[in-house]
Amino acid sequence: MAARFENKVVIVTGGTSGIGLATAKAFAGEGASVFITGRRQEALDAAVKAVGGRVTGVRGDMGKLADIDRLYDAVQQKHGHIDVVFANAGGGEFAALGSITEEHYQSTFDSNVKGVLFTVQKALPLMRDGGSIVLTSSTTSISGTPAFSVYSATKAAIRSFARNWILDLKDRHIRVNAISPGVTDTAGLNELFGGGAQAEGTKDYLAGLIPAGRVGQPEEIAKAVLFLASDDASFINGVELFVDGGQVQI
Ligand SMILES: NC(=O)c1ccc[n+]([C@@H]2O[C@H](COP(=O)([O-])OP(=O)(O)OC[C@H]3O[C@@H](n4cnc5c(N)ncnc54)[C@H](OP(=O)(O)O)[C@@H]3O)[C@@H](O)[C@H]2O)c1
């Protein structure tokens, strides 16, 4: 395949594991200079090694504005511009209505909503006109899951950001799209499902509900992110692309 991202500067937040790591590898494999973030230094160091190519790791919590500033200071010093932002950092935990705490609400919205908002806003001064932004939403943006309302609300917010930001960025010809993975086999998902045999059992059960008959792999989400970020998607703007084996289409 042609290297669609040769000489491009790409930001992947939450690039140390799962979907972000697979996507960072795919961008680097197509010639991009990639910046990845994550909060854990050890995971960041391992991911930098795993991605290879022209990759830079910047440790930071995307829910903290000072950490986002440090990321873009590093980009400014090294390249002075950005072509693609994949605002992907995030995660969630189960909490049913009745047991939701302020801390649960705050930490989920900080990582998933505040983090995405300021990752994008603070990238704008460095972004080239005609660039591309991809936001990680989720099938939960349009479907319900027991004890997962706060997380799901954050992902609905992300979908809404994409719809609105295409208007704010219209004059700069910057496209914004949301990617909505279904059940995808990552460290984050396995932890959410209790790890080990319990997680395997839950994934097997969910696979039976998915028309494709299986859960997704992070590399499958990465391919769709690269498509949306590339010129192959030059007339695709403001959409939510479900990559879920058909789960929320039935
Ligand atoms: N896996 C699924 O089934 C699925 C489905 C739909 C949507 N998603 C979404 O896809 C994205 C990636 O999830 P994943 O499954 O790949 O999870 P993962 O394996 O846990 O990876 C999450 C990544 O984000 C980083 N991260 C989390 N919060 C962060 C923060 N506040 N600041 C900076 N980095 C942060 C993590 O590193 P640190 O922990 O070191 O910070 C890690 O690199 C998330 O937005 C998730 O909601 C996942």
Q: What's the pLDDT tens digit per position in 152-179? A: 999 999 999 999 999 999 999 999 999 9
In percent, how much of the chain has pLDDT > 90?
A: 99
User: Is the distance from the beta carbon of residue 216 to the nearest atom of ligand 1 less than 6 Å?
Assistant: no
Q: Cite the active site residues.
A: 151
The residue type of 176 is V
User: Is the distance from the beta carbon of residue 187 to the nearest atom of ligand 1 less than 6 Å?
Assistant: yes
Structural domain boundaries in the chain: 9-181+218-243, 186-215
Region 2-8 average pLDDT: 92
Give 208-229 pLDDT, tens digit per residue. 999 999 999 999 999 999 999 9
Tell me which residue has tokens 């027991």: 146
* Burial of 149 per CB tally in 10 Å (0-12, 13-18, 19+): middle
Query: What pLDDT shows up at residue 108?
Result: 98
- Which is the closest atom of ligand 1 to the Cα of 21? 43
Q: Are 108 and 92 in contact (CB under 8 A)?
A: yes
pLDDT at 100 over 70: yes
Ligand 1, atom 21, residue with closest C-alpha: 17
- In the reported structure, the alpha carbon of residue 23 is separated from the centroid of ligand 1 by a whole-number distance in angstroms of 12
Question: Residue 1: which pLDDT band, with cuts at 50, 70 and 90?
Answer: low
pLDDT at 84 over 90: yes
Ligand 1, atom 36, residue with closest C-alpha: 14
pLDDT at 183 over 80: yes
Report the CATH architecture of 9-181+218-243.
3-Layer(aba) Sandwich (3.40)
Give 44-53 pLDDT, tens digit per residue. 999 999 999 8
Q: Name the 3-class secondary structure at 12.
A: strand
Give 103-141 pLDDT, tens digit per residue. 999 999 999 999 999 999 999 999 999 999 999 999 999
Residues in CB range of 83: below 8 A, 6 or more apart: 5, 8, 9, 10, 32, 127, 128, 131, 132
Q: Give the containing element (helix H, strand E) for 181.
A: strand 175-181
Question: Residue 231: which pLDDT band, with cuts at 50, 70 and 90?
Answer: very high
Question: Residue 70: which pLDDT band, with cuts at 50, 70 and 90?
Answer: very high
Ligand 1, atom 28, residue with closest C-alpha: 90
Paired strand residues for 134: 86, 177
